[in-house]
């Protein structure tokens, strides 16, 4: 993958950067600026190199229309506070406002183009439409730096097509993400374990399939575990169940056996009659879930078992919470896995938006994990072994 070093001296050059500034907003205020902070290493480096920095980013889903509630204005304000450089917002994506704003830039200054998804060509399925927009972007820059890890799995104008128009390279965040995720999937130090959870098994079938060929052990918790338990013939009461996936999951259980991959399911389960924070919770064996109860977390025996497996591993990839961590009564399993990862000296990678949120919400020090990915979808696709268009285009 080409890096910023390959772009040469950047002083006075217009550097187009794709960043991921898709931050959560509430009443126009940013509630989590993690993605803006993750973009700082690249942006600081470019500013210090004396580049004229032109950022492309999206926010929410304005669906190709200019909608003021999706303006990048709040991001501009926050970025201006976080970085030691003047930051302004262009009046539009690639129109008169954008051209004037780029024209006015001095070395070491930053302008954000308006939300790229205000232009419907950004996400178009039609290659020609995307290319046309990419050409308009290309006229605003001399070189391109791809640093929006959260979007590198998307074939979009500001991610993919632009990289074919200008000399291009991966930014610091993308390099770090790809190095970490590859280290945790391609040639991992063994024992190599994968912890999977979250709500839906169907979201992660591709990951399970790919990792059955690579991992030494798989720990399965969260809502997806009940489809596995059902595949073993247990009844799961009112727990999340994807009946149409039972046969596929049976196949995975077979494959795991054939390949000698240890696949561990919850041996006990925290159940409650309702999906409610104050519902009365009890612990039952996983093959004795009552008809009128639902599983909302892995039980304490399982948490201990999973923690022991993690402690023995040299590499662990984790995607998906072990239970409904948003409710305190059902957060213990997720906490136990996070604790085991944070105290282990294994190489640990956490992917998935909710898993990353869980680790923060439960108060863990982020630096005790080797890597927390900023991209949910992109990190899943890497775990699935897929080629990401926004990365492939930086490789040739």
Q: Which residue numbers are catalytic?
A: 35, 200, 353, 377
Q: Which is nearer to ligand ADP, 101 or 224 (CB)?
A: 224
Interface residue with ligand ADP, options 222, 299, 375, 390 (CB under 6 A): 222
Interface residue with ligand ADP, options 150, 193, 198, 237 (CB under 6 A): 198
Pick from 391, 394, 351: which is nearest to 370 by CA? Answer: 351
Taking CA atoms, 171 is separated from 25, 36, 134, 359, in Å, by 25, 14, 19, 26
Tell me the window of 49-57, 82-90, 319-327, 385-393 that interacts with ligand ADP (CB under 6 A).
Answer: 319-327
Based on the shown chain and the rule CB under 5 A, indicate whether residue 381 belongs to the binding site for Mg ion: no
Question: Total number of residues binding ligand ADP (CB under 6 A)?
Answer: 20
What is the b/e burial string over 127-164, where b = at least 16 CB atoms within 10 angstroms of the residue's CB?
eebbbebbebbbebbbbbbbbbbbbbbbbbbbbbbbbe
Q: Which is nearer to ligand ADP, 4 or 359 (CB)?
A: 359
Sign of the alpha-carbon torsion through 216, 221, 222, 224: positive
Tell me the window of 54-62, 195-203, 244-252, 258-266 that interacts with ligand ADP (CB under 6 A).
Answer: 195-203
For Mg ion, the binding residues in 329-358 under the rule CB under 5 A are: 353-354
Q: Which is nearer to ligand ADP, 137 or 325 (CB)?
A: 325
Interface residue with ligand ADP, options 151, 354, 373, 383 (CB under 6 A): 354
Based on the shown chain and the rule CB under 5 A, indicate whether residue 273 belongs to the binding site for Mg ion: no
Q: Which residues contact 9 (CB under 8 A, 6 or more apart)?
A: 49
Q: Which is nearer to Mg ion, 99 or 200 (CB)?
A: 200
Interface residue with ligand ADP, options 44, 88, 135, 199 (CB under 6 A): 199
Pick from 32, 129, 48: which is nearest to 354 by CA? Answer: 32
Based on the shown chain and the rule CB under 6 A, indicate whether residue 237 belongs to the binding site for ligand ADP: no
Among Mg ion, ligand ADP, none, residue 240 binds (CB under 5-8 Å by kind): ligand ADP
Long-range CB pairs of 162-167 (<8 Å, 24+ gap) are: 162/16, 162/18, 162/56, 162/134, 162/137, 162/138, 163/390, 163/393, 163/394, 164/134, 164/393, 165/134, 165/135, 165/137, 165/138, 166/16, 166/138, 166/141, 166/142, 167/6, 167/7, 167/142, 167/143
Question: Total number of residues binding Mg ion (CB under 5 A)?
Answer: 2
Based on the shown chain and the rule CB under 6 A, indicate whether residue 320 belongs to the binding site for ligand ADP: yes
Binding mask 277-306 for ligand ADP (x = CB under 6 A): ------------------xx----------
Q: Which is nearer to ligand ADP, 323 or 390 (CB)?
A: 323
Pairwise CA distance, residues 145 & 171, whole Å: 6
Tell me the window of 85-93, 131-139, 162-170, 314-322 that interacts with ligand ADP (CB under 6 A).
Answer: 314-322
Q: Which is nearer to ligand ADP, 111 or 316 (CB)?
A: 316
Pairwise CA distance, residues 189 & 137, whole Å: 42
Quote the least distance from Cβ 377 to ligand ADP, whole Å.
9
User: Among all chains, which residue has been given the structure tokens 């696709």?
Assistant: 381
Quote the least distance from Cβ 313 to ligand ADP, whole Å.
19
For Mg ion, the binding residues in 107-136 under the rule CB under 5 A are: none
The site for Mg ion (CB under 5 A) is made up of: 353-354
Binding site for ligand ADP (CB under 6 A): 197-199, 203, 222-223, 240, 295-296, 319-321, 323-324, 326, 352-355, 376
């Amino acid at each position: 993958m080409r890096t910023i070093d390959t772009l040469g001296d950047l002083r006075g050059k217009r550097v187009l950067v794709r960043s991921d500034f898709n931050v959560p907003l509430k009443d126009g205020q940013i509630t989590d600026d993690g993605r803006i902070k993750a973009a700082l290493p690249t942006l600081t480096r470019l500013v210090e190199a004396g580049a004229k920095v032109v950022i492309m980013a999206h926010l929410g889903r304005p669906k190709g229309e200019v909608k003021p509630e999706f303006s990048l204005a709040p991001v501009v304000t926050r970025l201006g506070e976080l970085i030691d450089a003047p930051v302004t917002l262009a009046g539009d994506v690639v129109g008169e406002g954008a051209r004037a704003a780029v024209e006015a830039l001095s070395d070491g200054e930053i302008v954000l183009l308006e939300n790229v998804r205000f232009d419907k060509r950004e996400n178009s399925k039609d290659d020609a439409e995307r290319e046309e927009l990419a050409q308009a972007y290309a006229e605003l820059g001399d070189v391109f730096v791809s640093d929006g890890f959260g979007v590198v799995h998307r074939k979009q104008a500001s991610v993919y097509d632009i990289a074919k128009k200008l000399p291009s390279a991966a930014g610091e965040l993308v390099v770090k993400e790809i190095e970490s995720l590859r280290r945790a999937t391609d040639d991992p130090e063994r024992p190599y374990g994968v912890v999977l959870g979250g709500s839906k098994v169907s979201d992660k079938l591709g990951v399970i399939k790919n990792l059955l060929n690579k991992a030494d052990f798989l720990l399965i918790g969260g809502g997806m575990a009940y489809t596995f338990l059902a595949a073993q013939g247990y009844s799961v009461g009112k727990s999340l169940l994807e009946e149409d996936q039972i046969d596929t999951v049976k196949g995975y259980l077979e494959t795991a056996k054939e390949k000698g991959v240890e696949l561990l399911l919850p041996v006990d389960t925290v159940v409650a009659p309702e999906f409610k924070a104050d519902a009365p919770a009890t612990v039952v064996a996983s093959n004795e879930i009552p008809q009128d109860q639902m599983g909302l977390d892995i039980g304490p025996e399982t948490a201990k078992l999973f923690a022991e497996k993690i402690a023995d591993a040299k590499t662990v990839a984790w995607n998906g919470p072990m239970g409904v961590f948003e409710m305190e009564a059902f957060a213990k399993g997720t906490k136990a896995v996070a604790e085991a990862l944070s105290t282990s000296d294994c190489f640990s990678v956490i992917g998935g938006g909710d898993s990353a949120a869980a680790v923060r919400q439960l108060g863990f020090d982020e630096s005790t994990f080797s890597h927390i990915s900023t991209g949910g979808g992109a990190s899943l696709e890497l775990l699935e072994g897929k080629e990401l268009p926004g990365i492939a285009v930086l490789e040739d």
